[in-house]
Amino acid sequence: MKKNILKRVLTLALAALLTLSLFACGKKNNDSSTSTSGATSYKVGICNYVDDASLNQIVDNIKTQLAAIGQEKGVTFEISYDNCNADSAVLNQIIANFIADKVDLMIGVATPVAVAMQAATEGTDIPVVFAAVSDPVSAGLVESLEAPGANITGTSDYLDTDAILDLIFAANPGAKNIALLYDQGQDSSTTPIKNAKAYLDKKGVSYKEYNGTTTDEISLAVSSIVADKADAVFTPTDNTVMTAELAIYETLAKAGIPHYTGADSFALNGAFLGYGVDYANLGVETANMVSGILLDGNKPATTPVLTFDNGTATINTDICKELGLNYDDLAKTFAPLCTKVQSIVTAENFDDLNK
């Protein structure tokens, strides 16, 4: 009798222990899940340098493409986005916040952001993907475009300066005085301005440099350009001038001076012409690169920097009329020098064109 009672007690105790063990295992499994429905979640920190049409377009397309990839692959990209507005102290704080939040990857839009991210993540395992860095080698971000060599890679909006200047002289073969408008502190302007000087020196055409670091300073520089009666203005992919474009385009147009620039967003904001990469596509390809690193295990150090065809010329037809020029005639003149010639009208953002 005692033996049966003891056997029954042992059986009940063993069953209780087994139940507790199964419950504990199940609880541990649920706690370790990164998200619901078995999906995996990745934290991505995006920092934009300034609020302008080109860079905003890049960010919008990065977000949209990551969302599409996430839906297709059954993963979630938790995006933290911020804009430092060209303030280095704010930029460093944003990056520090990303690190504290333990992001899986950082995206730096424009050269200053990419440089700061690379410095801040040195010695960590956080990969950095940059977007719209005009000269990543000269900026010290990568060893070469083909083999970055560090925990960073990305997309470049390298500018074919000679191609833009060719357009100036195709439209006005007699141009003799070219204004070079840019911010000396912008890394994206250093190489293109150097190349522009070499081009103009070889052609025997006079030029003068005009600089500014704020919208007010750029506006003053434009006043000097008008007073000096420049035949045309050249600006590369300079974020400071891009931010100021809405404040200066009318002054240049009224003076009859065409502004040739390194991105279609300048033309959107009132420049006569923007020549360069498709920033919407650049954003998409940046997101694809992020996906390759996080989902496919690609190593940034061996992932080539992606460059694009700079062959699209975007003409602002509003400014074209004000300058007394004919869009159709210009399109025919520029066609042999470009992959594509397209038109645009003045607006603050690309989304405004669809309203």
Q: Is residue 149 domain-shared with residue 189, that is, in the same domain?
A: no
Report the predicted TM-score, pTM, of the whole model to 2 decimal places.
0.82
Q: Is residue 128 domain-shared with residue 71, that is, in the same domain?
A: yes
Residue 3 lies in a domain: no
Residue 123 lies in a domain: yes
Quick one: average pLDDT of 290-309?
A: 95
Q: Is residue 118 domain-shared with residue 131, that is, in the same domain?
A: yes
**Residue 350: per-residue pLDDT:** 86
Residue 28 lies in a domain: no
Cα–Cα distance for residue pair 352/261, rounded to 1 Å: 21
Residue 16 lies in a domain: no
DSSP conformation class of 302: G
| Residues 347/268, Cβ–Cβ less than 8 Å | yes
- The number of domains in the chain is 2
- CATH code of the domain containing 348: 3.40.50.2300
Residue 11 pLDDT exceeds 50:
no
Residue 245 pLDDT exceeds 70:
yes
Cα–Cα distance for residue pair 229/200, rounded to 1 Å: 17
Quick one: average pLDDT of 56-65?
A: 97
Q: Is residue 205 domain-shared with residue 327, that is, in the same domain?
A: yes
Could you please report the per-residue DSSP string of 179-233? EEEE-TT-HHHHHHHHHHHHHHHHHT-EEEEEE-SSHHHHHHHHHHHHHTT-SEE
Residue 44 pLDDT exceeds 60:
yes
| Residues 249/271, Cβ–Cβ less than 8 Å | yes
Residue 212 lies in a domain: yes
Residue 139 lies in a domain: yes
Q: Is residue 195 domain-shared with residue 314, that is, in the same domain?
A: yes
Residue 298 pLDDT exceeds 80:
yes
- Domain holding 87, by residue range, is 37-157+279-302
Residue 29 lies in a domain: no
pLDDT digits (tens, 9 = 90+) for 61-103: 999 999 999 999 999 999 999 999 999 999 999 999 999 999 9
pLDDT digits (tens, 9 = 90+) for 155-201: 999 999 999 999 999 999 999 999 999 999 998 899 999 999 999 99
Q: Is residue 166 domain-shared with residue 87, that is, in the same domain?
A: no
Cα–Cα distance for residue pair 124/129, rounded to 1 Å: 14
Q: Is residue 272 domain-shared with residue 284, that is, in the same domain?
A: no
